[in-house]
Amino acid sequence: MGRKFFVGGNWKCNGTADQVEKIVKTLNEGNVPSSDVVEVVVSPPYVFLPVVKSQLRQEFQVAAQNCWVKKGGAFTGEISAEMLVNLGVPWVILGHSERRALLGESNEFVGDKVAFALSQGLKVIACVGETLEEREAGSTMDVVAAQTKAIAEKIKDWSNVVLAYEPVWAIGTGKVATPAQAQEVHASLRDWVKINVSPEVSESTRIIYGGSVTAANCKELAAQPDVDGFLVGGASLKPEFIDIINAAA
Ligand code: PEP
């Protein structure tokens, strides 16, 4: 079975109630391919998840931007995977580079989070990617492999995982990876999964690209054989997100 194109919108820590209402209206009115062709998942900040979920067109889904590493309890300020499941939130983004860098989330911690979230029934968009220094040092694949290995060691079933390759130097910088750069890492990552997990998981797991994706660059990226969709930050707050969804067609 082919890999269905996947477009995620990461709203990060942005938006007021009014802005959220406008974004949802734009999403609901946009012309997009059928859900047989593209899976669309938007990720508002926690506080807006219930309202977005209830107002969003039915074929689009929602994701949380994070969740706690284990069962909820005395962890002030955290949101647990069980709460997301309880609210009917199907997806969660884990391992985003902003959390790895700003909040010190290690590869192992991200692996634990992915495993716990999956065990509770969530689907996971797991982010990996190298910094500019790491790319310039020639260690892109070592970094991405180590991040993926920390996840692979903790999980058995990959059917509810989407891998997001997000080079840190491309996130929010306007400096998108070239289609060739993205394809090179996606193909190597798929090979890594083939060797270290299984050929079946390698064939079926979607590997999406994130980092300064826009309406202007999405078509060329989407044409790469191992680019199975996008995780979009800044542009997911704008009407051009509809054009990016249409890159699937
Ligand atoms: C992201 O935050 O996941 C992202 C890809 O951001 P941007 O599209 O703004 O680079």
**pLDDT tens across 185-237, in order?**
999 999 999 999 999 999 999 999 999 999 999 999 999 999 999 999 999 99
Give dist(CA 201, CA 157) in Å, integer.
Answer: 9
CA 141 from chain center: how many Å? 19
Is residue 166 part of the annotated active site? The answer reads yes
Ligand 1, atom 7, residue with closest C-alpha: 233
Q: Which of 119, 129, 117, 108 is nearest to 81 (CA)?
A: 117
Ligand 1, atom 6, residue with closest C-alpha: 233
pLDDT of residue 188: 98
Q: Which residue has the tokens 């985003």?
A: 96
Q: Calculate mean pLDDT across residues 158-165.
A: 98
Residue 1 reports pLDDT greater than 80: no
Cβ-based neighbours of 88, under 8 Å, separated by 6 or more: 53
Six-digit token string for 226:
């191992």
Ligand 1, atom 8, residue with closest C-alpha: 233
Q: Which of 39, 105, 134, 166 is catalytic?
A: 166
Q: Which residues pair with 64 in a beta bridge?
A: 92
Is residue 96 part of the annotated active site? The answer reads yes
Cβ-based neighbours of 167, under 8 Å, separated by 6 or more: 129, 130, 135, 140, 177, 181, 185, 211
Six-digit token string for 24:
């949802």
Q: How confident is the model at residue 249 (pLDDT cuts 50, 70, 90)?
A: confident
